[in-house]
Structure formats: structure tokens, C-alpha cells
Amino acid sequence: MNKVIHLSSVYSKDDVSHNPKDVSLCVQCGKCKALCPTYIESSSEVLGSRGRAAILKKFNQGDVAFSKRLYESLSSCILCEACSKSCPLQINIADAVYRSRKMLRGFDKKTILLNYILKFALKNPSRTFKIFKLLKIISDIPKVEMLYPFRYFNKLGVTMPDLPFKDKTTVFRASSPKGRIAVFTGCVINCLYPSYGKSLINLLNSLRYDVILPHGEFCCGAPLLELGLEEDAMKLAEMNLYAFKNLNVEYTISLCPTCIHFIKNIYKRYLGNSIDNAIDISQFLIEKSSGFPELAKKIKATLNPYIANTIYHDPCHSKYSLGIFSEPRYILGKIGFNLTNPSEVGCCGLGGAFGFLFEGLSDGILQNRLESFKEADMIITSCPNCVLQLKSKIKDRQVTHIIDVIAGFVGKNNT
């Protein structure tokens, strides 16, 4: 049965949990379970937000013995931060889970190997791309394709580009520039979807911004922190803070909400310092760019012939961690898309390493999400990870990033 959730009743922009409350304040009311994807899918208290809050409380007090059950409960949290939206006390269980994961590392053999591979892969962006390529080549070998973890890579249906999005500092100049913007590319755009990165540059140049891609950018650290590798994640954070420090830019835009959440919020929580001017593309277009209304009119004129029933899928870190909900809907409405079910929300089930480590749960969450897309002719989102996960199952309709919709137009008309 499709479990549809409407976010409008719990959504509030003031409610963004940048300053998470301690899980020890939890009164076990259970209100957070309404949006917890792992609870909705499993109906298990242990795999839900309230159960995790109870376990974390005891765990933090040293009152609970380490066990497989405890490990499963805390390691299966998708870290979506939905619970912080529905908790009347604004407790952010994800924050407490991140911190607990440091103690959990090494418990499961599967994650020990994954930790080594990720640490090695993410310390150098060109190495990350080569490892993706190698994984793809191995995953395509008959018989090997069915072995774990190659089976998972195959399931995602990854198509590798010939080159990553960037490999050195590059500045893309606009004519008569009115400002300068940095792009935080992120691993998935860099390795798998360079076309989205190019679309972003086209768009920003057309709005008369020079664009800089700094060479010293590393992974935002999310996959490492997720696996409890806090020290390694924070080393990457420090290198990113350094790379984006003196760029003399008005904003830093990323097409990945997890990257923005990390460079803006998580770095601040852990290091007291962040890339403060980081902003999502929808928010930038509406709040910071005077050129959007004119652009919207042009896009509307071009797109009208093939606009159909469209669903906007909210990435979890976009709506829960960054408080972005109305902005992409406003943009899509302005350029002429007819959004069906505009207040309906749900998780795609990828959640970084979650999809890999909890395949069954992840598949169930995705399947539930797909039920909501039955009537849609096109699915638009704002996260390359969501695109990846949704495309693994949706083959008969277009699934794309919002940048493609907006800047696809710009690209066509600039050539």
C-alpha cells in the first residue's frame, strides 16, 4: 500500500534544525515516526526514530550493552533529518546518530572494507573518478556483475562519462559580469553527471556571473561522517574551507543539497566554521538573482509545447536540513510546469551508503516512493543522488535535476 505523506502540515522554514537539541530531552511521544522512512517501511520500533532516540539516550548514558540489535538500529538511520521536522522539541536524532557512529565502526565486517575503500577513494577527486570507472568496468563483466558489491553498482545503472566535470581551477567568464560565484561540485556531479555542472555554468554565465571552480575542492565528507569516520571527514572539511576561503565570491552554489548541508551546517557544528555563503540553486534564483523573472518568461515560451504532469521530488536534505520547499515549486510553476501533488513528500531510499548496506529496506522505501509517481509524466528533483536512485527503477519517463530544466533552455539558446 502506498503510504503518502503531506509535508505542508509540518513544514516551517523557521524550523530548520541548525542547532540540534540533545536527544536526552526526548519524551518518547512518537510524533517523529510519522516522517521516518525506515519506520514507515519496516513498522519496527527499533528501526524507527523513537526507538533510536530511546537507544541513543541509554547508549549515551552507558546504560545499554553493545549488540547486533543496537548496531542495526543506529546504523540503519538514513540520516534524512525528517524527525527534526516533526518533533515538537526539535530533537534531531540524525545529529546524535552521526556522533554514535564513531563508536559503531568496526562492528560489521562489510563496513570495515567499505571504510577503507571510501577513505582511499575520497581523498583525491581524480582518484574518485578512476575508482568509479573501475567499478563500472568490473560490474560489466559477465558473472562478476551478480556478485556483491558489483551487483549494487549495476542495479543503479550508472553510465560513466569519459571525463569528470573538473580537474583544475577554472574560471568561466560572463560578458559584462555583475558578480562572481563559486561552484561546490560534489562527487556525484563531478564523476557521474558533469552535464548538470555544465548547465549550471551556462545558466550563471547567462545571468552575467563569472563562475569559478576551485581546484582544491574535495568530497564534502558526508559519506565518511555517515560511516563514523569523523576525523577523516573533518580533514576533508578543513581542506574545503581552505579552498573556498579567499575566492572573492558572492555565493557558493552546489547542485547537491547534502553538500550544501555539510559545507554550511555540519562544518559549523563540528568545526565552528563553514562556507557560509553556500546556497541552493532554487533559493539563489529566487532570492539573489534579479535576472530570474526575465529568464522564466523565456523558458515558459520554449517549454510550453511539452509540459505535462510533473512531480517535484524533494531531496531529504533539501527540505529538512536546508528548509527548501516552496522555492523549486515556485520556479517550476513560473516556467510553466503543471505540478501534480505539490505537497506530497517521501524519501527515495538512497541515503549514501544506506542503500548499499541496507538494500532491502532501501528498495522498499524506493518502491513506496514510486507509487506516488504513477500519474507523473516527468519527475524533477534537486539532488544528483535522488536522480541516480530514481533512475535505477524509472525507465519509461524522464527523471532529471531541476538545473537541466532551467539551464537546458539557456544552453540551447546560447549555442
Q: Please list, in sequence order, all residues whose beta carbon lies within 8 angstroms of the beta carbon of residue 97, skipping any fewer than 6 positions away.
A: 52, 56, 74, 77, 79
Binding site for ligand SF4 (CB under 6 A): 26-32, 35-38, 49-50, 52-53, 77-83, 87, 89, 91, 93-94
In the bound state with ligand SF4, the residue whose beta carbon lies nearer, of 8 and 273, is 8
Phi, psi angle pair for 268, to nearest 5°: -65, -40
Could you tell me if 277 and 250 are in contact, meaning their C-beta atoms sit under 8 angstroms apart?
A: yes
Least distance between ligand SF4 and beta carbon 74 (Å) = 9
Burial call 337-349: b when 16+ CB within 10 Å, e when fewer: bebbebebbbbbb
DSSP 3-state of 62? coil
Of 40 and 378, nearer to ligand SF4 (C-beta) is: 40
Angstrom distance (rounded) from CA 21 to CA 53: 12
Instruction: Using alpha carbons only, give the angle 83, 85, 91 rounded to the nearest 5 degrees.
Output: 60
CB of residue 80 to ligand SF4, shortest distance in Å: 4
What is the secondary structure of 280-315 as a DSSP string? EHHHIIIII-TTHHHHHHHHHHHHGGG--EEEEEPP
Nearer to ligand SF4, 77 or 386 (CB): 77
Complex with ligand SF4: residue 56 or 212, whichever CB lies closer: 56
d(CA 19, CA 22): 10
Q: Report in angstroms how near the CB of residue 382 gets to ligand SF4 at its nearest.
A: 18
Count CA atoms within 13 Å of residue 286 on its CB side. 16
Q: How far is the CB of 52 from ligand SF4 (least distance, A)?
A: 5
Q: Report d(CA 135, CA 67) in Å as an integer.
A: 33
In the complex, what is the shortest distance from the CB of residue 298 to ligand SF4, in angstroms, rounded to a whole number? 39
Give CA 88 to chain center in angstroms. 25
Closer residue to ligand SF4 (CB): 299 or 365: 365
Grid coordinates representing 12 are: 516551517
The smaller minimum CB distance to ligand SF4, of residues 125 and 315, is found at 315
Least distance from ligand SF4 to the Cβ atom of residue 61, Å: 16
Report in angstroms how near the CB of residue 393 gets to ligand SF4 at its nearest: 20
Of 204 and 348, nearer to ligand SF4 (C-beta) is: 348
What span, in angstroms and rounded, lies between the C-alpha atoms of 139 and 149?
Answer: 9
Which is nearer to ligand SF4, 95 or 217 (by Cβ)? 95
Q: How far is the CB of 311 from ligand SF4 (least distance, A)?
A: 21
Distances (CA, A) of 335 to 192, 295, 296, 340, 373: 27, 9, 5, 15, 21
